[in-house]
Chains A and B, each alone.
Chain A
Amino acid sequence: MRKLVLTLTAAAIAVGFAAPAGAQFPDRPVKMIVPWAAGGDTDNIFRPLAPLLQKQLGQPIVIANVTGASGTVGAREAKGSPADGYTIYAMHDYIHLVHYAGLTDVTYKDFEPICLVSATPSVLTASPKTPWSDWKGLVADAKKRPGEISVGATLGSTSHIFPASVEKAAGIKFKYVSYDGLAPRMNAILGGHIDLTDSNLTQKGKVDAGQLKFIAIASEKRDPEMPNVPTLKELGINIVFEVVRGLVVPKGTPPAVRAKLGDACAKATAEPEFKEAMRKQGTRVAFLNQQDYAKFLDKIDGENKAIMTDLGLIKK
């Protein structure tokens, strides 16, 4: 038996080495690691992108949802993958926060940028059971009873950082309750167990049905889908808060492979089909090429560090 194993192994190794090393990239399926569950916000953005990338690259893009521990399991898996372009990592700017929170050693610097794909503006959302329905009412109430208006958030994540920045800019004080993920937050806010939360335009249906109230959107200008929701900027709160997502590859991936992936990404994100898919996700397409994305990453990394220091959540 053992002999058989050895022979087979030896044979297989021989075959492995004999395979041509420098074949044209890509000559087999490419794995895209999404560090969050299928059907989640991040997955919903990259899943429509996969077939469009596939069209450009001529090889299947297989999405692998590597979930767990606030997205850090996927980050670790991506970092440890061979730098051959056959593993691409669908990154979310949350990676900066979890690093500063001391959750993981992996940083954006372990990867090489390919392209920025999308930006999703955050929307301050209120429960139908709250007595106010606009920003002014919220602020007045918050001033009257500081620390009593409850906000559902994943602590230390974008859903926490956003209301915390608002809190600071408006000079009010909230009470935070831990609700991980958009779906549990929606359950809690509909049931009136929390007053406020961060959500995005994907919840538009519930607002139309009167189950939720959008207070303000954290984008540069009003969204054509919801023209009656004011931006925070109009309300005198200078905050633009968008969750951005892009593609990166492990450090050391050959420049030719990166260029090929970058090209494919540029063409795929420019497709009208992709724009339409993003519109349904309350998201805008925000393409940046390798160089610009690298600069952008440096910039938001600094911003995130500052916010985390401000909130006293920083550990690194």
Chain B
Amino acid sequence: MLELLGNALLTVLHWKYLLPLFAGTFAGVVGGALPGVTITMTIIVLLPFTYGLDPLAGLAAMTGVYVGGSAGGLITACLLGIPGTPSAIATTFDGFPMARKGQPGRAVWLGVWSSFFGGLVGGLFLILVTGPLAAIALAFGPWEYFSLFILAMAMVAGLAESSLIKSLISTAIGLLITIIGTDPIGAVPRFTFGSAFIGGGFPFLPVLIGIFAFAQIMGDIEKMRQPSAAGEAAVKRPSLSVAHLKVIGEILARPFLFLWSVLVGILIGVLPAIGGSAASVLAYDQAKKISRTPELFGTGHPEGVIASEASNNANVGGSLVTIMAFGIPGDAVTAVMLGAMTIHGIQSGPLFVSQNPGLAYGIYAAYILAHLLMVVIIWSSTFFVLRLTSVRLAVLAPIVLVLCVIGAYALNNTMDSVYVLLIFGVFGYALVKAGFPLAPLILGLILGDQIEVNLIRAVMSDANPWLFLTRPISGGLLIAAALSVVLAVWQHLRHQKRTAGEDEADF
């Protein structure tokens, strides 16, 4: 295993892979730092560039985006007080106060080094656990997969911040989109109204790109006439110089907090469909509970920054485990990565690591190197990145949209995909305006076909429907799904008084 990893590291150090990895990590840091541009958005913009690359080069670029984005958010979180990406929300709680107290360097570098070490521990987990987990995944029959997907959907619907019922509707819409087109078993056309355009169904990536890109960009355009929050925090050049060893010492002096945050991040990552923002907020919450000085949280306490940043990068490692062992995306970012693999004809799943060791270890290597690159990039160009955050929307929006169009077109080399992109762009924006969370919809979209196929396979393999409950793993997963819905309902009842009509997009 070490030998494979060593070879992979040497391979990825070749410029053919290092260049895309660097570009991806850089794009990730910038995209992560830009408020309003999420990691998903960055990876969507980068997607068309990976079509023509070697599979490993493309995946290295995407891994770079994921790692870079999870760290990049902390720059704006600490220096401007705006989370650059949702997974840096918890970093603003203590990072920004610390920077305002005159320690911007300490805030940023506490975050960077926590991300770095958190990510590396996550990487260790990734390398050690993916193989064994894949062996378990092989034992998953259609019943287990079906129940796993139900669990994922139940958890995401329960986690969404707006009403539970709207999350469930969102999930149903996502599932419904995947039904349209020919059925996956016998290729019978469903709800196509005889149209050849709908006949092929709606390909996943154009739908995803349309929903995300338009909801985001149109949402930004909406607010153009409002005074921007980032503008007044115009970039002064605070000194970020700091004694790195001392900062690293600060992190390592709290091994329990650090490891606990990493663990939270990894677990949230492994669970399908729950993203980095949940990881950082949860880890922050946990840190506050176990801290000896909980009253300091929110005032620029280093523990808050460490918890949030260590967990959101560890989360990346966890998510990669899930796509590599099960072939199931953990969130929209990994869904795009999986889509990119499919374009290159690589089927992720239980056999992925054993059949494509070069690629699998290449991804591990890219993951590790991306953390080094991330530190170098932030070290050398924090201010450049901050300057980029002031690029005007009038310039950014059309370029991003052009790349989305290329991404959709080149996926299939037909205009049909571009039409799908536009249709779902309008649809996604309308849903956001109607107050529906998008995360459950995306999950429904990602898992829809798989749920149906596994359900039908189960029925075809054995006529006994009780197997879903009597097979131990499957039954356990279904019980967990039921519990998570009950829990969500219970929490909603408790919080009902406080629900305000918040209609921010939930990415």
Residues of B within 8 Å of A150, CB to CB, are 461
Question: Assuming the A-B contacts A73-B200, A177-B457, A178-B460, are A66 and B413 also in contact, with contact meaning beta carbons closer than 8 angstroms in the complex?
Answer: yes
Question: Assuming the A-B contacts A39-B345, A178-B456, are A155 and B138 also in contact, with contact meaning beta carbons closer than 8 angstroms in the complex?
Answer: no
One of B81-89, B181-189, B219-227, B300-308 at the interface = B181-189
**B350 beta carbon closer than 8 Å to chain A:** yes
**B357 beta carbon closer than 8 Å to chain A:** no
**CB <8 Å contact, B349 and A183:** yes
Q: Which of A28-79 contact B (CB under 8 A)?
A: 31, 33, 37-40, 43-44, 64-70, 72-73, 76-77
**A175 beta carbon closer than 8 Å to chain B:** yes
Number of residues from A at the complex interface, CB < 8 A: 41
Question: Assuming the A-B contacts A178-B453, A184-B347, are A67 and B187 also in contact, with contact meaning beta carbons closer than 8 angstroms in the complex?
Answer: no
Please name the residue on chain A nearest to B347 by beta carbon: A183
One of B101-109, B139-147, B162-170, B484-492 at the interface = B139-147
**Given A37, A175, A186, which contacts B342 in the complex, CB threshold below 8 Å?**
A37
Residues of A within 8 Å of B343, CB to CB, are 37-38, 65
Residues of A within 8 Å of B200, CB to CB, are 68-69, 72-73
Residues of B within 8 Å of A101, CB to CB, are 187
A98 to B140 CA separation, bound complex (whole angstroms): 31
A33 to B181 CA separation, bound complex (whole angstroms): 22
Residues of B within 8 Å of A43, CB to CB, are 345
Binary contact track A153-190/B, C-beta < 8 Å → 1, others 0: 00110000000000000000001111111011011101
A233 to B456 CA separation, bound complex (whole angstroms): 35
Please name the residue on chain A nearest to B186 by beta carbon: A155
Binary contact track B447-462/A, C-beta < 8 Å → 1, others 0: 0000001001100110
**CB <8 Å contact, A38 and B344:** yes
Q: Which of B348-395 contact A (CB under 8 A)?
A: 349-351
**B199 beta carbon closer than 8 Å to chain A:** yes
**CB <8 Å contact, B412 and A191:** no
Question: Assuming the A-B contacts A39-B345, A69-B187, A101-B187, are A175 and B181 also in contact, with contact meaning beta carbons closer than 8 angstroms in the complex?
Answer: no
**CB <8 Å contact, B351 and A186:** yes
**A193 beta carbon closer than 8 Å to chain B:** yes
Residues of A within 8 Å of B142, CB to CB, are 193
Q: Which of A86-137 contact B (CB under 8 A)?
A: 98, 101, 103
**CB <8 Å contact, B347 and A181:** yes
Please name the residue on chain B nearest to A42 by beta carbon: B345
CB distance from A119 to the nearest CB of B (A): 21
**CB <8 Å contact, B342 and A187:** no
**Given A65, A187, A193, which contacts B413 in the complex, CB threshold below 8 Å?**
A65
Question: Assuming the A-B contacts A68-B203, A177-B457, are A187 and B349 also in contact, with contact meaning beta carbons closer than 8 angstroms in the complex?
Answer: yes
Residues of B within 8 Å of A178, CB to CB, are 184-186, 453, 456-457, 460
Residues of A within 8 Å of B55, CB to CB, are 39
Residues of B within 8 Å of A39, CB to CB, are 55, 344-346
Binary contact track B174-208/A, C-beta < 8 Å → 1, others 0: 00000001101111000000001001110100000
**Given B140, B344, B412, B453, which contacts A73 in the complex, CB threshold below 8 Å?**
B412
**CB <8 Å contact, B461 and A73:** no
Please name the residue on chain A nearest to B415 by beta carbon: A77
Residues of A within 8 Å of B203, CB to CB, are 68
CB distance from A252 to the nearest CB of B (A): 20
CB distance from B205 to the nearest CB of A (A): 11
CB distance from A158 to the nearest CB of B (A): 14
A70 to B200 CA separation, bound complex (whole angstroms): 9
A31 to B182 CA separation, bound complex (whole angstroms): 27
**CB <8 Å contact, B350 and A76:** no
Residues of A within 8 Å of B349, CB to CB, are 183-184, 187
A-B contacts, 15 listed (Cβ < 8 Å): A37-B343, A38-B343, A65-B343, A65-B413, A67-B412, A69-B182, A69-B187, A69-B201, A73-B200, A76-B196, A77-B414, A155-B186, A178-B457, A181-B347, A194-B461
Q: Report, nearest first, the 7 A-B pairs whose CB atoms are least far apart.
A: A39-B345, A183-B347, A64-B413, A69-B200, A68-B200, A38-B345, A191-B138
